Every structure is written in C-alpha cells, then in structure tokens.
Amino acid sequence: MVAHFLHGQYKIAHRVKLHDSVLIWCILSLSEFNAKGYLTVKKSVLLSLIFILLSACHEPQLHSLRFGLSRAPISLDPRFATDATSTRINRLLYHALVDFDDSLRPIPDLATWEQLSPTQYRFHLGDNGRVFHNGSRLTAHDVKATYDFILDANNASPHRGSLSLIKQINVQDADTIDFMLEKPDVLFPGRLVVGIVPAALIDSQHPFNKKPVGSDRFELVKWEESTHLFLRRRSDGQVVEFLEVKDPVVRALKLVRGEVDILQSDLSPELVTWLTKRPEIKVSKGQGTNFTYLGFNMENPVTGQFAVREAIAYAINREEIIHYLLGNAARSASSFLLPPTHWAGHPGLPAYSYNPKKARALLAQAGFTQSNPLKLSYKTSNNPFRIRIATVIQQQLAEVGIEMDLRTYDWGTFYGDIKKGHFQLYSLSWVGIKMPDIFRYVFHSSAVPPNGANRGRLKNPKIDALIEQAEAATTLEAGAAGYRELQVALFDELPYVPLWYEDHVLASHRRISGYTLAPDGNYDGLNTVVLR
C-alpha cells in the first residue's frame, strides 16, 4: 500500500517541489504496522495528507523577474544616491513626503501640507507608507532625523545644497512637522523628495547603502554581488532581480534567450528594430523628458556671435536625425530644458525649423563665405552612438558651408573640458528635470562652474533678472508665467540649440504584462508588472 501510495502521489510531490525524502518521512511518521506486519496508512491520515499536498499546489510559485540594467545602482541610501539607477530603485524602496504628478506639480506622497506663512510649511503625515520594512512605525521624528542628517555638513550629503534654505525643523506631534525657511520659496514642497529612513537606525549608523530599510512597496532580499540585486514586492512576494549587463548587444541577446525579462532604454535604434522583429519580444515606446541640446561657448569670439548660433540652429535637420538615427524614438524640442507639458514649460515657443538657405544668409551676414568658411570644433564623448550623431551634424553643417572639426574624448576628459569652458560647440543631455529652478543652475551668470552648470559662460543681465523674478513668485501660477517669459528671452539669446526629447523604450518578453513606461524613466511599472 505504501509503495502504491508513493507511486500515486509522486506527481503531486513533484508539482509542489517537495523532496521525495520529505514525502516518505511524512508517510512513515503517520503509518503503522498491521497484524501481518504490513505497513498501512489510516484512511483519515491519508486524506489529511492529500489535502495538505493539494493545498500546497494552489500556493503561488513565484519566479524572479529579471530586469536588465546598463549600470548597477551605486547606493540604496536615499540621502546619498544621485545616479539615475540608484534614484529609480530607491523610489521602489522608500516613501518621500512629496511626489510629482504628470505635469510635474508637487503632490502628496507621505504627507499633505499647508503654508502657514511665506517661510513656514506644515506637513501632515497620512496613512500611506507609515510602516517601515523592519516593522517600526514611520513618524515625524523619522522625517526630522532624515533631513537633519542631510543638512549636517559633516555628513556630506549631495542633497544638502537644494535644501540649504531650511532654517529649522520642528516636530509638533507624531503626525505633524514644520519646516522653517530662511526666505520664501514657493517651490519648497517639491524639494522634499528624499526617501525617509528610520531615526533609530540613523543613530546606530545602519548601512542603508547596502541594507535599505524603507516603507514603500519593495524590500531588500539580498545584494551580495554589486551586479545582482534582489528585491521583493511586499504585496505578493514577487521577486525582482536587477542584473547589470553593460554591453547593450549582450543585454538584448539575454532578453531573446530568456535570461532577462525586461529592458528599459539604453538600447541603440538598431537593437530596438531587431528586437521588434523577434516574435517572443514586445517593444513599446513612451514620451520622455530627457532634453538633448547643442551648447555654445558664449565667450568665444565666433560662437559668441548670435548670427553664427542662429545659422547653426537653422542648419541642423533634427527630423532627419530623429528618423534615421533615433528610430523615431524622440520628438523635436523647441522649448528650453522643460518639456511643453511641464507646468512651467512653454508650449508656444517657435521652433528653429530646418532652413539651409537662411543659414547660409546668416553666415554671409556674419562675414563667412565660400572663400572664407566658418571653421568650428565640436567636442563629444567617445560613445559610438553619440559619435554617429555628431558625424551627421558635421555633414549637415558642411552643407551650408561650415567646416566642423569633430573631436571625441573619453567621458572624463570630455566632461572636464566642458566644465572648464574649453570648447566652441558640444552636445549633452539633461536627465530627469522636475523643478524649474534648474534655470538658475544652468543659465544664471553666478552659476559658472564650479558654482553651477552655466558651462557656456552666459552673462546676460536680463536673463539673470528674469530668473530672480520667477524665483520670487508667491504662487506656482505666477512662477509659471515668469519662467515662460524667461524661456522667450533664452530663445532670443540662443545659448543652446534645443534638439530633442528622447523617448523611453521598453523591450520585454511576451510572458511579461502590466508594466507602464514613465516619462521620467522611473521603474514604477514594477509595482504592477505580472510575470506569467
């Protein structure tokens, strides 16, 4: 009877992944010998065991969902993380006081708020996200401890600069906290986006960078190797494995072979096209907010001339580059930094359409002719795809009579030269912009490196005044009007040529569903993704 039972139940044991030895032990421990010496199992015990096994069959057997990354996260401590991958993964682990809506207006996450005076904000913690992964309750004391740590210069948090206007933080009760400011700042709520960590663990110097303890929908499983991070979705136990695979070709091949389930962006148009043709792979695109631009050295005697900058703007055929090089995974940009959908963006700015005839006329106006051509140097990184884009721009400028010397460097050398102002032309992208105060950091005359990112050395008193006027607004509506006026002034000055906003691309295996692309490239789709 035992042998027959074992044979008949082997399939159930196999389905629920029970080891044979465990099954045999269960049966033997619940059996008895009859008068003739045969091992028997009581009917009641047999039914109970079958019930247990069949019940186990209905328990979900979740496999890891594998997410391919071009670069592994550096830190899972939200007080220090600044790279894109770390920031996006931290967002899955930690709740912040404030989040953003689709137009990038600040909205409540952990807390709602009220402005008690121009320099005092009161935040009220709600019910969402109030339990840390270690079981302790998130209170206003944890909020204060998190931000006090960041504001302490001895801790060297990279987020301290954007929060330096905080004068004092006062806890009213477990659910209420006040922030006192040095000066009025209508944008202040949008600055409180750092994930909250437990105060008790701050005091014990817990290594959040490797062992995160947040209160959001994912928690740490393990991170034993820097290239393999495992998180668990708290709602259903679904495990997500983040794997670093630097080479995009290898990353795409792993997706096709089923070694990876999801890839998001960081793929060349050729790879995206190839993946689109694979029957086992789904590819989708979503509008992004990453802003790519061509920058000028405003102190250079040549690129400092407005006619030269305008001629270059008319000479670049953005649509051609977007179609042939970017695989239509971008949209042409006319506004500066902020997309038109941003609450402070400017949807009405005219675009510099491709007009080689006008470009030649402007060059002639600046004294450049076929016998006296304009000669420029253009610096870019040695990334092969960025070199291809730069080569096409070089060809387009040559068609209007501009001789461009293309120079490529490793990233460190290239970026160092840009910060020092050692260039005439260069191209870069701004990633993940949410707050309009980016304009001070990029275009104010006081923000020349190392004090900011005014790499082109723009010094325009009118633009400085408009930045300061927009920052002094007492409402978001007044601030939006001020920033739109500023963008008109930037259009008239042209320190950048806006090129495009790159789309985000999702490539996933057919067994994946429920993942949605976000405009800023975050990984929030993992909150709802389903692995079949």
- What domain range is 193 assigned to? 94-198
Residues 485 and 350 in one domain: yes
**Tokens in use for 163?**
């929060």
Maximum Cα–Cα distance across the chain = 115
183: tokens are 């000066």
pLDDT, position 52:
35
- Cα–Cα nearest to 289, from 248, 333, 259: 333
Domain membership of residue 50 (yes or no) is no
Which residues neighbour 485 within 8 Å (Cβ) at sequence distance 6 or greater?
A: 466, 470
pLDDT of residue 200: 97
The CA distance from 218 to 382, in Å, is 37
**Residue 175 zone, left/alpha/beta (φ > 0; ψ -120 to 50; rest):** alpha
Alpha-carbon span 477 to 103, nearest angstrom:
13
Same domain, 291 and 188: no
Return all residues near 40 (Cβ < 8 A) that are at least 6 apart. 1, 2, 31, 32, 33, 34
Kindly state whether residues 184 and 324 are assigned to the same domain: no
Cα distance between residue 222 and residue 233, in whole Å:
13
Asked, for residue 183, whether it belongs to a domain, the answer is yes
For residue 151, tell me if it sits in a domain: yes
Q: For the chain, what is the radius of gyration of the CA atoms? A: 29
Order of strands across the sheet with 120-125?
111-117, 120-125, 176-181, 166-173
Residues of the chain with pLDDT under 50: 1-39, 41-61
User: Which of 198, 232, 255 finishes a domain?
Assistant: 198
**Boundary residue ending a domain (198, 232, 264):** 198
Which whole-number Å values give the CA distances from 1 to 29, 33, 410, in the listed order?
15, 11, 74
- 525: DSSP letter: G
Q: Given 164, 198, 232, which residue is the final one in a domain?
A: 198
Q: Is residue 124 part of a domain?
A: yes
277: in domain? no
CA distance from start to end of the chain: 38
Answer whether 346's CB lies under 8 Å from 488's CB: yes
The CATH number given to whatever domain includes residue 371 is: 3.10.105.10
Question: Is there a single domain that holds both residue 296 and residue 408?
Answer: yes
- Hunting for tokens 């940009």 — which residue is that? 333
* Residue 242 domain-assigned (yes or no): no
Considering the domain architecture, whether residues 312 and 167 belong to the same structural domain is answered as no
CATH label of the domain that carries residue 141: 3.90.76.10
Q: For the chain, how are helix, strand and coil distributed in percent, rounded to 5?
A: 35, 25, 40
Please give the pLDDT value at position 62.
Answer: 52
The total of structural domains in the chain comes to 2
Q: What is the model's pLDDT at position 385? A: 86
Q: Judge if pTM exceeds 0.85.
A: no
309/411 same-domain check: yes
User: Which are the contacts of 186, defined by CB distance < 8 A and separation ≥ 6?
Assistant: 473, 474, 475, 476, 478, 479
Runs of H (alpha helix) within 399-460: 411-420, 438-443
Q: Are 483 and 436 a contacting pair, CB within 8 Å?
A: yes
Local structure of 515: helix, strand or coil: coil
Helix or strand holding residue 492 (H, E)? helix 476-493
Q: Nearest 10 degrees: CA dihedral of 207, 210, 215, 218?
A: -170
Evaluate whether residue 118 is within a structural domain: yes
Query: What pLDDT score does 411 carry?
Result: 87
- 262-264 and 65-69 beta bridge pairing: parallel
Would you state the pLDDT for residue 51?
37
What's the CA gap between 422 and 299, in Å, rounded? 11
Shared domain for 477 and 342, answered yes or no, is: yes
Residue with tokens 């996450």: 109
Does some domain include residue 293?
yes
